[in-house]
């Protein structure tokens, strides 16, 4: 049974911090556009306060979330319990992209690990709805650790990562511009 809460409780914040991954869902306004759902891992998400979370977003093959957020701000994060008691927790809200060099970046960046090769932006979400559901259909899985491949790829790219972002991260698959990637 789904339950709705007005904010992220201390219990939920602690549970979120224990999760090794989460999913972010965004969509363009155009009904013909593609809904995007992406997994995120690493030590990249922080609960800032009961109605705000942020995550350090690393360079990847696309930048759909940022492009969608720039257009309409709609976002949902989902966390699943793959170990322990079953639970699904969703955070609904309005997101924004925070770019390196901005005042907000300087305020939020110290909350994350000191070195994250490939970091490109922070996604901050003002949470308007917290919802839990049973999670009975989520399989039990054994956590083995984070993959190193994305970090290794970013380190190998080095200074060339900016050119990669300009080519691969500047627009969504539907042609929406992503902030700061041009």
What CA–CA distance (Å, rounded) separates 113 from 40? Answer: 15
Task: Return the pLDDT at 48.
Answer: 98
pLDDT-based confidence at 182, cuts 50/70/90?
Answer: confident
Do 169 and 181 contact (CB within 8 A), yes or no?
Answer: yes
Tokens in use for 10? 């201390």
For residue 11, being part of any structural domain is answered with yes
- Condensed to tens digits (0 to 9), the pLDDT of residues 109-122 reads 999 999 899 999 99
The number of domains in the chain is: 1
- State percent of the chain over pLDDT 70: 100
CATH number of domain containing 164:
2.30.110.10
For residue 129, being part of any structural domain is answered with yes
Model pTM score: 0.96
pLDDT at 164 > cutoff 80: yes
pLDDT-based confidence at 98, cuts 50/70/90?
Answer: very high
For residue 84, being part of any structural domain is answered with yes
For residue 180, being part of any structural domain is answered with no
pLDDT-based confidence at 1, cuts 50/70/90?
Answer: confident
Arithmetic mean of pLDDT, 31-46:
97
pLDDT at 41 > cutoff 80: yes
pLDDT at 173 > cutoff 90: yes
pLDDT at 85 > cutoff 90: yes
Burial class for 59, CB neighbours closer than 10 Å (0-12, 13-18, 19+):
buried
Can you give the residue range of the structural domain that contains 139? 3-168
What CA–CA distance (Å, rounded) separates 14 from 133? Answer: 17
For residue 15, being part of any structural domain is answered with yes
Q: Is 137 helix (H, G, I), strand (E, B) or coil?
A: coil
For residue 99, being part of any structural domain is answered with yes
For residue 179, being part of any structural domain is answered with no
**pLDDT mean across residues, the chain:** 97
For residue 173, being part of any structural domain is answered with no
Do 118 and 59 contact (CB within 8 A), yes or no?
Answer: yes
């Amino acid at each position: 049974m789904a339950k709705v809460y007005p904010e992220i409780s201390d219990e939920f914040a602690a549970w979120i911090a224990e999760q090794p991954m989460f999913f972010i869902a965004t969509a363009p306004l155009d009904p013909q556009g593609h809904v995007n759902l992406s997994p995120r891992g690493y030590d990249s998400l922080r609960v800032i306060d009961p109605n705000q979370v942020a995550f350090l977003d690393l360079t990847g093959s696309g930048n759909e979330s940022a492009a969608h957020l720039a257009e309409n701000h709609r976002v949902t994060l989902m966390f699943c319990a793959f170990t322990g008691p079953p639970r699904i927790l969703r955070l609904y809200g309005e997101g924004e992209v925070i770019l390196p060099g901005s005042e907000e970046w300087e305020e939020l960046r110290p909350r994350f690990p000191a070195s994250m090769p490939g970091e490109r932006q922070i996604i901050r979400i003002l949470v308007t709805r917290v919802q839990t559901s049973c999670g009975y259909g989520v399989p039990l899985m054994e956590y083995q650790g984070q993959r190193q491949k994305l970090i290794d790829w970013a380190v190998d790219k080095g200074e060339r990562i900016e050119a990669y972002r300009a080519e691969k991260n500047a627009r969504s698959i539907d042609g929406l511009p992503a902030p700061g990637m041009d």
